[in-house]
């Protein structure tokens, strides 16, 4: 490169430096070569810029390097920023000098179609592609928005343990690991039970971290390791919980629309579908009504049946916002959910179903706060009372009504992005029979 100094900038900063000579470092995304003019598309993580080399205006070494450079080679470009309507993004670099920092040979992922098996085995390299970059940026935006949402409202983040001594809810399969020679430990499948005592200490709390489910699920809506955010609030009851969940989803959606519109466009997401979400109230349908709706649609369901994916989609398809289904039968929900005093066959719980077939993004409930009722539920579910003694203590020492929900980060992100499969919404997906890379 020339000895002339030029400020180093990122691609995202280029539009604010028109006419200025700058240096950009990154990787070659694609190139198009001609006899007198050559185009190099540079990516640096912040964006993409087309670098234009004219044979007459660059050193011969730079001109030749532009012909040789291969996809994903590390490169350095010195050039003048020019506003150019012919270039994607509206800005390009008129190159003064160019050099290859490291020549990349045979990058496996070419700018053509690939199958998912191949791409997943190359996930560490797949991350570099434009679509994956956009999804990861949106995921990161959602994570920040989650923390901001709770911080603004006076919540304290309480990290729940990942190693736990037993099943939190006693139902799903857990990943088992050796804790000591005598004792097993299990990877957490929910922070909720640990958050309830924390709510007694801090009032409004939330946890946000990885969650593990060892079920042998093989669907687009499941991962074995995923991230879940779980608020838990003292003295909050079911109606307030529904308000919180709705406010939460709306705020996250608006945040993504405001700050990541460009990434959504790259994913060809229909923005109007997300804008609607922020503007309209979310319908709240009691389970008993939901059963009637499904029966009218021809589903053979009756009170006491749980809803599968098809039923969820059928319920959600009538609305262009998420819909909350509330007050499920006691028999199909977790042991800790508070029965409805007005209708003891159902619990004060909610599932929020996203539109466009994205399914359940939130599940939550008011928790049982009566010690003896919770104790009888633990017995009914054949759970070991000793293991839940500490959990019962929340009801023993100054009990209080409280509620919380869990939201799956990847499911929400998938819906925002309009991506059909969760595996693209986490950097390194862990799925049944796939843990590499």
Partner RNA sequence: UCCGCAGUAGCUCAAUGGUAGAGCAACCGGCUGUUAACCGGUAGGUUGUAGGUUCGAGUCCUACCUGCGGAGCCA
Ranges within 369-398 binding RNA (CB under 7 A):
none
Is the CB of 288 or the CB of 434 nearer to RNA? 434
How far is residue 250's CA from residue 99's CA, in Å, rounded to a whole number? 47
Sequence-separated (6 or more) residues with CB below 8 Å from residue 5: none
DSSP for 256-279, please give it. HHHH-HHHHHHTT--HHHHHHHHH
How far is residue 435's CA from residue 431's CA, in Å, rounded to a whole number? 7
Q: Within positions 283 to 312, which residues make up the interface with RNA, using CB under 7 A?
A: 306, 308-310, 312
| Segment (H or E) for 132 | helix 130-152
Beta strands in 248-333 (DSSP E): 284-286, 323-326
Per CB under 7 A, does 410 bind RNA?
A: yes
Per CB under 7 A, does 34 bind RNA?
A: yes
Per CB under 7 A, does 408 bind RNA?
A: yes
DSSP 302: -
Q: Among 2, 101, 118, 304, which residue interacts with RNA (rule: CB under 7 A)?
A: 118
Total of chain residues touching RNA, rule CB under 7 A: 72
Sheet of 323-326, strands arranged across:
156-157, 204-212, 225-234, 402-408, 359-366, 349-354, 323-326, 284-286
3-state helix, strand, coil in the chain (%, to 5): 35, 25, 35
Q: Within positions 127 to 156, which residues make up the interface with RNA, using CB under 7 A?
A: none
Is the CB of 33 or the CB of 279 nearer to RNA? 33
Could you give phi then psi for residue 295, rounded to 5 degrees?
-60, -40
Is the CB of 37 or the CB of 375 nearer to RNA? 37
Question: Could you tell me if 361 and 228 are in contact, meaning their C-beta atoms sit under 8 angstroms apart?
Answer: no
Per CB under 7 A, does 218 bind RNA?
A: yes
Stretch that binds RNA, among 2-10, 110-118, 193-201, 267-275 (CB under 7 A): 110-118
Q: Among 17, 114, 128, 153, which residue interacts with RNA (rule: CB under 7 A)?
A: 114
Is the CB of 259 or the CB of 319 nearer to RNA? 319
Q: Within positions 41 to 100, which residues make up the interface with RNA, using CB under 7 A?
A: 41, 50, 52, 68, 70-71, 84, 86-88, 92, 94
Binding mask 238-277 for RNA (x = CB under 7 A): ----------------------------------------
Q: Within positions 186 to 215, which residues make up the interface with RNA, using CB under 7 A?
A: 190, 213, 215
Q: At what angle do helices 287-296 and 309-316 cross, to 10 degrees?
A: 90
**Nearest distance from C-beta of residue 347 to RNA, angstroms:** 13
Per CB under 7 A, does 421 bind RNA?
A: yes
Per CB under 7 A, does 172 bind RNA?
A: yes
Is the CB of 23 or the CB of 192 nearer to RNA? 192
How far is residue 298's CA from residue 259's CA, in Å, rounded to a whole number? 42
Per CB under 7 A, does 343 bind RNA?
A: no
């Amino acid at each position: 490169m020339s000895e002339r100094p030029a400020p180093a900038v990122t691609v995202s900063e280029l539009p604010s430096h028109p006419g200025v000579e700058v240096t950009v470092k990154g990787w070659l995304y694609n190139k198009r070569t001609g006899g007198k003019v050559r185009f190099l598309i540079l990516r640096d993580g912040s964006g993409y810029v087309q670098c234009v080399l004219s044979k007459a205006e660059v050193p011969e070494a730079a001109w030749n390097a532009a012909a040789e450079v291969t996809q994903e080679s590390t490169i350095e470009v010195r050039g003048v920023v020019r506003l150019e309507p012919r270039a994607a993004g509206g800005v390009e670099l008129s190159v003064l000098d160019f050099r290859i920092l490291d020549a990349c040979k045979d990058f496996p992922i070419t700018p053509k179609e690939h199958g998912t098996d191949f791409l997943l085995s190359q996930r560490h390299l797949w991350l570099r592609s434009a679509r994956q970059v956009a999804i990861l940026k949106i995921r990161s935006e959602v994570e920040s928005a989650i923390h901001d949402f709770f911080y603004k409202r006076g919540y304290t983040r309480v990290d729940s343990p990942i190693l736990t001594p037993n099943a939190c809810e006693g139902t799903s399969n857990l990943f088992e690991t050796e804790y000591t020679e005598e004792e097993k430990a299990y990877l957490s499948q929910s922070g909720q039970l640990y958050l309830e005592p924390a709510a007694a200490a801090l009032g409004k709390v939330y946890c946000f971290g990885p969650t593990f489910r060892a079920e042998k699920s093989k669907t687009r809506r499941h991962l074995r390791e995923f991230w879940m955010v779980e608020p838990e609030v003292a003295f909050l009851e079911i109606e307030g919980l529904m308000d919180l969940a709705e406010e939460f989803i709306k705020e996250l959606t608006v945040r993504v629309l405001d700050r990541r519109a460009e990434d959504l466009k790259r994913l060809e997401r229909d923005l109007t579908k997300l804008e609607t979400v922020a503007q309209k109230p979310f319908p709240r349908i009691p389970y008993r009504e939901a059963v009637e709706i499904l029966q009218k649609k021809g589903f053979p369901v009756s009170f006491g049946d749980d809803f599968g994916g098809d039923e969820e989609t059928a319920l959600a398809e009538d609305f262009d916002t998420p819909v909350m289904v509330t007050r499920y039968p006691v028999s199909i929900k977790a042991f800790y959910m508070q029965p409805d005093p007005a209708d003891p066959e159902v619990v004060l719980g909610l599932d929020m179903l996203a539109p466009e077939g994205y399914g359940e993004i939130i599940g939550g409930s008011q928790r049982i706060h009566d010690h003896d009722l919770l104790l009888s539920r633990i017995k009914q579910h054949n759970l070991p009372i000793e293991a839940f003694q500490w959990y019962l203590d929340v009801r023993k020492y100054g009990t209080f009504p409280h509620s919380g929900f869990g939201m799956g980060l990847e499911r929400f992100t998938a819906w925002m992005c309009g991506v059909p499969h969760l595996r693209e919404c986490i950097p390194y997906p862990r799925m049944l029979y796939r843990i590499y890379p």
